[in-house]
Amino acid sequence: MPRERHAVATLDELPPGGRLLVEVAGKSIGLFHLDGEIVAAQDICPHELAPICKGRLGGTTLPSPPGEYRWGRDGEILACPWHGWEFDLRTGACLADDRKRLRRFPVTVEAGTVYIEL
């Protein structure tokens, strides 16, 4: 089945570091502006089906030598408000369980308009 393209927002509505919830074809979708990249994810946590897109945006610890803690990826990690499960918005991967992933959708930006494909 071919995907349908939907205009969902303008870049003015989604500034860098911003997020926006939209309804498209009966689905709630979160849009996130991550350092020049727009990411679209379905507003459902794959752990317990919670609405995730209003969850905390933060970072995570990065690989580092023993005894050191490095923090990074600020604004790229989305935490579910129900149980705190964390997901990488750029890949959809769960940080704790690689079998769980956010459902993401292809995004394009043309002339300041954000489009997603469902």
Query: Which domains can be identified in the chain, with CATH numbers?
Result: 5-113 (2.102.10.10)
The whole-number pLDDT of residue 77 equals 95
The one-digit pLDDT tens for each residue of the chain (118 residues) are 678 999 999 999 999 999 999 999 999 999 999 988 999 999 999 999 999 999 999 998 888 899 999 998 888 999 999 999 999 999 999 999 989 999 999 999 999 999 999 9
pTM of the predicted model as reported, rounded to 2 decimal places: 0.90
Where does residue 114 rank: exposed (0-12), middle (13-18), buried (19+ CB within 10 A)?
buried
Beta pairing, strands 70-79 & 104-105: unpaired
DSSP structure string for 41-86: EES--TTT----TTSEEEEEEE---TT--EEEEEEEEEE-TTT--E
Residues 103 and 93: beta-carbon distance below 8 Å = no
The whole-number pLDDT of residue 93 equals 96
The whole-number pLDDT of residue 84 equals 92
